[in-house]
Structure 1
Amino acid sequence: MSENIEKNLLKVREMTIEDAEEIAQIEAENFSKPWKQKDFEDAVHSKNTLYMVIENQNEIIGYAGMWLVLDEGEITNVSIKKSCWGQRAGTHLMEEFLKEAKKRGGMSFFLEVRESNLRARKLYRSFGFEEIDVRKKFYEEPVEDGIVMCKR
């Protein structure tokens, strides 16, 4: 069942430790080897990370995270609740996420994505990411190649 997103009520903000449990639930819904709640709690406490959530009517519907060192960002997580797919929540999140990363000095960004995740690859390409490498058998459960993408 699809949730109805109120575009004018979408809000992107920095993640807090209180968000970790809800984010871990979305992570588990979308990934075969998900990060745990503690992983997100640890990420929030690190000084070299940027983690943001997107809310629809005050409910978290997605998140994105990266390590940001000097001018380079390594995007570690991007995920939207399945019930909200296809409603441009991911686009709105990525716009605000990359804007904030650039404010913090980020100039180039890297990520890996499953070869079969065509929806995500299309989203990343729309933000100027290019496919630059293939990591053979990078993912498990199921085993699959990872596509390395970069935005400069």
Structure 2
Amino acid sequence: MSREALEVRRMQEEDLDAAAAIEQALFSKPWSRESLAGAIKMQGNLYLSAFWDGQLAGYCGMWRSFEEGNITNVAVAEPFRRRGIAVGMLTRLMEMAGKEGVSRFFLEVRAGNQPALRLYEGLGFSSIGMRKNFYECPAEDAVIMEKTLLQF
């Protein structure tokens, strides 16, 4: 991955149209632009946009509850996959949230999404359980994953 090509920053209002388009293209039950707009404005939430050579390539986000962060969204547009963008976004998300006192992260991922499972495991997440029929369109179980940041 070229460090010069990737820029990760807090999601801003002007990113929402492109983020919503990625959401619509990738997910069977996508969040609306309005849902994303509400999420970035809510205190404690942290949403990031990733740009590849100036173009919005992906985004991720987290809802905070005390020292825990629930990662709600991770998306990289198809043309930008396999460039390390998801790793870059999630690493930055956990760094920023860690500085704000978040020490444990949780997420759900489709049980059949092997690339995402490998991604999260590579970032230090561990499977801690399942949610039966968590996803719709198509129905599928979710793997619950957790990562704890080391505190020094």
TM-score, normalised to structure 1, is: 0.93
**Contact 1:115/1:145 (CA < 8 Å) preserved in 2?**
yes
Task: Say which SS state the counterpart of residue 7 (structure 2) adopts.
Answer: strand
Q: What's the C-alpha RMSD, in Å, of the aligned pairs?
A: 1.1
Answer yes or no: is 1:110 the counterpart of 2:106: yes
TM-fit CA distance, 1:6: 4.8
* Alignment counterpart, residue 25 of structure 2, candidates 22, 25, 29: 29
Question: Runs of 4+ in structure 1 displaced over 2 angstroms?
Answer: none
Matched to 2:141, the amino acid is D
1:1-152 to structure 2, matched below 5 A, reads 6-152=2-148
Separation (CA, whole Å) in 1 of partners of 2:31 and 2:37: 10
Matched to 1:57, the amino acid is D
Residues 31-61 of structure 1, C-alpha deviations (whole Å, 9 max, x = no match): 1000000001101110020000110121110
Structure 1: 5+ residue stretches without partners: none
Structure 2: 5+ residue stretches without partners: none
Separation (CA, whole Å) in 2 of partners of 1:126 and 1:66: 19
Identical aligned pairs, as a percentage? 36
TM-score, normalised to structure 2, is: 0.93
Matched to 2:60, the amino acid is A
Task: Say which SS state the counterpart of residue 74 (structure 1) adopts.
Answer: strand
Separation (CA, whole Å) in 2 of partners of 1:30 and 1:66: 18
Residues 68-90 of structure 1, C-alpha deviations (whole Å, 9 max, x = no match): 12110001000100111111111
Paired residue total: 148
Matched to 2:93, the amino acid is F
TM-fit CA distance, 1:126: 0.9
